[in-house]
Amino acid sequence: MGVLVEFDAQGNWGNTHVCDCEIEPRLAQLGLAWGQQEGAGICRTATRLAEAVDDPRLLYLRAGSGYVGVLCEAGEWVGWEGGASVSNDARSSLLAGPSSALPSLEEFLETMLELTGNTVDEED
C-alpha cells in the first residue's frame, strides 16, 4: 500500500492519504498516474517517473507552494499515463530536489508508523 503526504513549503506534515482511491486523484491533479506492476494484477502503460522494484521508494514532487511525498512499495509506480514521451524539463519541473525540510525515507516511515499507532522495532 502506498502513501501520499502533503507538505507545506517549510516541510510540515499535512494531509495523509493511504489508499489508492485517495492517492490517484491527488496525483492526477499533478498530471500523474499511480499504478502497480503487471505481477501485482494491474498493468497500465505509462512513462514511469519513479517505481519501487524491491524496496520502498520515497519521491518528493513540487505541488503548488509545497510538496507531495509519495511512498511507493514494491511493485508500485508513479508516472505519466499512456507511455507518452516526456521531456527532461517536464520531469525536473515536478521533482523536488533534496531539502533538509523534508523527511528522509526512514523519518517518513517512522512518522507513518506513529500516526497509525505502531512502533518501530529497534534491532539490538
Per-domain boundaries in the chain: 3-115
Cell of 44: 497500465
CA distances from 94 to 72, 88, 90, 100, 102 (A): 17, 10, 7, 18, 16
pLDDT value for 79: 81
- Walking along the chain (124 residues) 10 residues at a time, the average pLDDT comes out as 89 89 88 72 59 82 90 84 63 71 91 78 55
To which residue does cell 494491474 refer? 42
Q: Which three cell numbers stand for residue 55?
A: 524496496
